[in-house]
Amino acid sequence: MIYLFGIELNLLPIGKFLDPSIWREVSMDANTIFYYLILTVLISIVLFLLLHVLTRKTSLTMRKLIRFGGFIAIIGGIILFWNHSPIGFLAGDIVKHMILPVLVSTLVSFAGTMLLMRNTMLETLREDYIMAARAKGLSEAVVRDKHAARNAFLPVFTNLIIGIPFALSGGIITETIFSWPGMGLTLLQAVNLEDIPLAMGTLSFVGVLALTAHLIADLAYAFLDPRIRYQ
Protein backbone atom coordinates (compact mmCIF):
# COMPACT_ATOMS: atom_id res chain seq x y z
CA MET A 1 0.00 0.00 0.00
CA ILE A 2 2.76 2.45 0.93
CA TYR A 3 4.82 1.62 -2.16
CA LEU A 4 1.88 1.81 -4.58
CA PHE A 5 -0.25 4.69 -3.28
CA GLY A 6 2.38 6.60 -1.35
CA ILE A 7 5.56 6.34 -3.41
CA GLU A 8 4.70 5.34 -6.97
CA LEU A 9 1.37 7.15 -7.38
CA ASN A 10 2.04 9.78 -4.68
CA LEU A 11 -1.66 9.98 -3.86
CA LEU A 12 -1.65 9.44 -0.10
CA PRO A 13 0.75 10.23 2.76
CA ILE A 14 2.72 7.24 4.02
CA GLY A 15 2.64 7.96 7.75
CA LYS A 16 1.96 10.25 10.70
CA PHE A 17 -1.39 11.79 11.67
CA LEU A 18 -1.23 15.11 9.82
CA ASP A 19 0.89 17.39 7.63
CA PRO A 20 2.91 19.83 9.81
CA SER A 21 3.13 22.41 7.00
CA ILE A 22 -0.69 22.76 7.04
CA TRP A 23 -1.11 22.81 10.81
CA ARG A 24 1.86 25.05 11.68
CA GLU A 25 -0.18 28.28 11.80
CA VAL A 26 -3.48 26.76 12.94
CA SER A 27 -4.64 27.47 16.49
CA MET A 28 -7.28 24.73 16.67
CA ASP A 29 -6.31 21.42 18.22
CA ALA A 30 -6.26 18.42 15.89
CA ASN A 31 -8.02 16.27 18.50
CA THR A 32 -11.00 18.66 18.48
CA ILE A 33 -11.41 18.31 14.72
CA PHE A 34 -11.01 14.55 15.03
CA TYR A 35 -13.84 14.49 17.59
CA TYR A 36 -15.99 16.47 15.15
CA LEU A 37 -15.27 13.83 12.50
CA ILE A 38 -16.30 11.06 14.90
CA LEU A 39 -19.49 12.98 15.72
CA THR A 40 -20.22 13.29 12.00
CA VAL A 41 -19.83 9.54 11.55
CA LEU A 42 -22.12 8.82 14.53
CA ILE A 43 -24.80 11.20 13.22
CA SER A 44 -24.64 9.61 9.77
CA ILE A 45 -25.01 6.13 11.30
CA VAL A 46 -28.08 7.27 13.25
CA LEU A 47 -29.59 8.73 10.08
CA PHE A 48 -28.93 5.50 8.18
CA LEU A 49 -30.63 3.48 10.93
CA LEU A 50 -33.64 5.82 11.01
CA LEU A 51 -33.93 5.59 7.24
CA HIS A 52 -33.77 1.80 7.46
CA VAL A 53 -36.46 1.64 10.16
CA LEU A 54 -38.82 4.13 8.50
CA THR A 55 -38.74 2.28 5.16
CA ARG A 56 -39.27 -1.25 6.49
CA LYS A 57 -43.00 -1.30 5.64
CA THR A 58 -42.69 0.08 2.12
CA SER A 59 -42.56 -2.05 -1.00
CA LEU A 60 -39.27 -3.63 -2.00
CA THR A 61 -38.68 -1.41 -5.04
CA MET A 62 -39.64 1.78 -3.20
CA ARG A 63 -37.56 0.75 -0.20
CA LYS A 64 -34.43 0.30 -2.32
CA LEU A 65 -34.96 3.64 -4.08
CA ILE A 66 -35.55 5.54 -0.84
CA ARG A 67 -32.59 3.96 0.93
CA PHE A 68 -30.27 4.52 -2.00
CA GLY A 69 -31.44 8.12 -2.37
CA GLY A 70 -31.12 8.67 1.37
CA PHE A 71 -27.63 7.22 1.35
CA ILE A 72 -26.57 9.57 -1.47
CA ALA A 73 -28.23 12.54 0.27
CA ILE A 74 -26.52 11.86 3.61
CA ILE A 75 -23.09 11.36 2.05
CA GLY A 76 -23.56 14.42 -0.15
CA GLY A 77 -24.68 16.49 2.82
CA ILE A 78 -21.61 15.49 4.81
CA ILE A 79 -19.29 16.35 1.91
CA LEU A 80 -20.98 19.72 1.35
CA PHE A 81 -20.88 20.54 5.07
CA TRP A 82 -17.16 19.87 5.45
CA ASN A 83 -16.36 21.41 2.06
CA HIS A 84 -17.90 24.75 3.13
CA SER A 85 -16.62 24.56 6.70
CA PRO A 86 -13.67 26.83 7.63
CA ILE A 87 -11.92 23.81 9.14
CA GLY A 88 -12.79 21.49 6.28
CA PHE A 89 -9.26 21.47 4.85
CA LEU A 90 -7.91 20.42 8.26
CA ALA A 91 -10.44 17.59 8.51
CA GLY A 92 -9.51 16.56 4.97
CA ASP A 93 -5.85 16.34 5.97
CA ILE A 94 -6.72 14.06 8.90
CA VAL A 95 -8.91 11.84 6.72
CA LYS A 96 -6.22 11.69 4.04
CA HIS A 97 -3.68 10.43 6.58
CA MET A 98 -6.20 7.87 7.91
CA ILE A 99 -6.98 6.18 4.59
CA LEU A 100 -3.96 3.89 4.28
CA PRO A 101 -3.75 2.70 7.93
CA VAL A 102 -7.49 2.08 8.16
CA LEU A 103 -7.55 0.35 4.78
CA VAL A 104 -4.68 -1.95 5.74
CA SER A 105 -6.23 -2.80 9.13
CA THR A 106 -9.56 -3.54 7.44
CA LEU A 107 -8.13 -5.74 4.69
CA VAL A 108 -6.19 -7.83 7.21
CA SER A 109 -9.40 -9.13 8.77
CA PHE A 110 -11.67 -8.91 5.71
CA ALA A 111 -10.62 -12.22 4.20
CA GLY A 112 -11.42 -14.17 7.37
CA THR A 113 -14.79 -12.44 7.79
CA MET A 114 -15.68 -13.06 4.14
CA LEU A 115 -14.75 -16.74 4.42
CA LEU A 116 -16.81 -17.10 7.61
CA MET A 117 -19.83 -15.48 5.94
CA ARG A 118 -19.49 -17.79 2.93
CA ASN A 119 -19.32 -20.93 5.07
CA THR A 120 -22.28 -19.94 7.25
CA MET A 121 -24.33 -19.06 4.16
CA LEU A 122 -23.63 -22.47 2.63
CA GLU A 123 -24.72 -24.18 5.85
CA THR A 124 -27.83 -22.01 6.23
CA LEU A 125 -28.98 -22.63 2.66
CA ARG A 126 -29.24 -26.35 3.49
CA GLU A 127 -31.69 -25.77 6.37
CA ASP A 128 -35.29 -26.98 6.17
CA TYR A 129 -36.84 -23.51 6.54
CA ILE A 130 -34.95 -22.38 3.43
CA MET A 131 -36.52 -25.24 1.48
CA ALA A 132 -39.91 -24.26 2.91
CA ALA A 133 -39.42 -20.65 1.80
CA ARG A 134 -38.57 -21.81 -1.71
CA ALA A 135 -41.60 -24.10 -1.71
CA LYS A 136 -43.81 -21.07 -0.97
CA GLY A 137 -42.73 -19.59 -4.30
CA LEU A 138 -40.52 -16.84 -2.93
CA SER A 139 -37.88 -15.50 -5.25
CA GLU A 140 -34.28 -16.59 -4.79
CA ALA A 141 -33.27 -13.05 -3.85
CA VAL A 142 -35.87 -12.91 -1.05
CA VAL A 143 -34.87 -16.35 0.22
CA ARG A 144 -31.21 -15.40 0.18
CA ASP A 145 -31.47 -11.90 1.66
CA LYS A 146 -34.37 -12.17 4.12
CA HIS A 147 -34.21 -15.77 5.26
CA ALA A 148 -30.67 -17.08 4.81
CA ALA A 149 -28.43 -14.02 5.13
CA ARG A 150 -30.04 -12.75 8.33
CA ASN A 151 -29.36 -15.97 10.21
CA ALA A 152 -25.98 -16.54 8.57
CA PHE A 153 -24.89 -13.06 9.63
CA LEU A 154 -25.10 -13.85 13.37
CA PRO A 155 -21.68 -15.54 13.78
CA VAL A 156 -20.15 -13.01 11.39
CA PHE A 157 -21.57 -10.15 13.48
CA THR A 158 -20.21 -11.74 16.65
CA ASN A 159 -16.77 -12.15 15.11
CA LEU A 160 -16.83 -8.56 13.83
CA ILE A 161 -17.94 -6.92 17.08
CA ILE A 162 -15.58 -8.90 19.30
CA GLY A 163 -12.69 -8.28 16.89
CA ILE A 164 -13.05 -4.49 17.03
CA PRO A 165 -11.40 -3.93 20.47
CA PHE A 166 -8.52 -6.24 19.54
CA ALA A 167 -8.09 -4.40 16.24
CA LEU A 168 -7.94 -1.12 18.16
CA SER A 169 -5.46 -2.44 20.68
CA GLY A 170 -3.36 -4.93 18.76
CA GLY A 171 -2.28 -3.12 15.60
CA ILE A 172 1.40 -3.13 16.56
CA ILE A 173 2.74 -3.77 13.05
CA THR A 174 0.37 -1.25 11.44
CA GLU A 175 1.16 1.37 14.07
CA THR A 176 4.89 0.85 13.59
CA ILE A 177 4.86 1.01 9.78
CA PHE A 178 2.63 4.09 9.59
CA SER A 179 4.16 5.83 12.64
CA TRP A 180 0.83 5.84 14.45
CA PRO A 181 1.59 5.47 18.17
CA GLY A 182 -1.44 3.76 19.68
CA MET A 183 -2.38 1.23 22.33
CA GLY A 184 -0.53 -1.58 20.58
CA LEU A 185 2.80 0.22 20.64
CA THR A 186 2.08 1.52 24.15
CA LEU A 187 1.58 -2.01 25.42
CA LEU A 188 4.68 -3.29 23.61
CA GLN A 189 6.86 -0.50 24.98
CA ALA A 190 5.46 -1.01 28.48
CA VAL A 191 6.38 -4.70 28.35
CA ASN A 192 9.87 -3.99 26.98
CA LEU A 193 10.52 -1.33 29.65
CA GLU A 194 8.88 -3.46 32.37
CA ASP A 195 6.45 -0.64 33.12
CA ILE A 196 3.95 -2.81 35.00
CA PRO A 197 1.36 -0.09 35.87
CA LEU A 198 1.15 1.08 32.24
CA ALA A 199 0.89 -2.50 30.96
CA MET A 200 -1.84 -3.31 33.49
CA GLY A 201 -3.73 -0.14 32.60
CA THR A 202 -3.55 -0.88 28.88
CA LEU A 203 -4.67 -4.48 29.34
CA SER A 204 -7.50 -3.35 31.62
CA PHE A 205 -8.69 -0.91 28.98
CA VAL A 206 -8.59 -3.64 26.34
CA GLY A 207 -10.55 -5.91 28.68
CA VAL A 208 -13.24 -3.25 29.17
CA LEU A 209 -13.50 -2.83 25.39
CA ALA A 210 -13.84 -6.60 24.93
CA LEU A 211 -16.58 -6.87 27.60
CA THR A 212 -18.42 -3.91 26.07
CA ALA A 213 -18.22 -5.57 22.65
CA HIS A 214 -19.70 -8.78 24.08
CA LEU A 215 -22.56 -6.77 25.62
CA ILE A 216 -23.28 -4.97 22.34
CA ALA A 217 -23.26 -8.27 20.47
CA ASP A 218 -25.71 -9.86 22.94
CA LEU A 219 -28.10 -6.90 22.77
CA ALA A 220 -27.94 -6.77 18.97
CA TYR A 221 -28.98 -10.43 18.69
CA ALA A 222 -32.56 -9.44 19.58
CA PHE A 223 -32.69 -7.20 16.51
CA LEU A 224 -30.90 -9.57 14.15
CA ASP A 225 -32.57 -12.84 15.13
CA PRO A 226 -36.39 -12.81 15.55
CA ARG A 227 -36.15 -16.02 17.59
CA ILE A 228 -34.36 -14.18 20.41
CA ARG A 229 -36.35 -12.03 22.80
CA TYR A 230 -35.16 -10.49 26.06
CA GLN A 231 -37.74 -10.43 28.84
Flag whether pLDDT at 227 surpasses 70: no
Summarize pLDDT for 73-100 with one digit per residue, the tens.
999 999 999 998 888 888 888 888 888 8
**Residue 231 confidence (pLDDT):** 59
Q: pLDDT confidence of 169, banded at 50, 70, 90? A: low
Contact criterion met (CB below 8 Å) for 112 and 118: no
CA distance 134 to 190: 57
Overall size of the chain counted in residues: 231
**172, 188 contact by CB (below 8 A):** yes
Q: How far apart are CA 46 and CA 104, in angstroms?
A: 26
Give every CB contact of residue 219 below 8 A, 6+ residues apart in sequence: 230
Q: Helices marked H in 148-228 — which ranges? A: 149-169, 172-177, 183-192, 196-224
pLDDT tens-digit map of 206-221 = 888 888 878 887 787 7
Q: Tell me if the pTM is above 0.75.
A: no
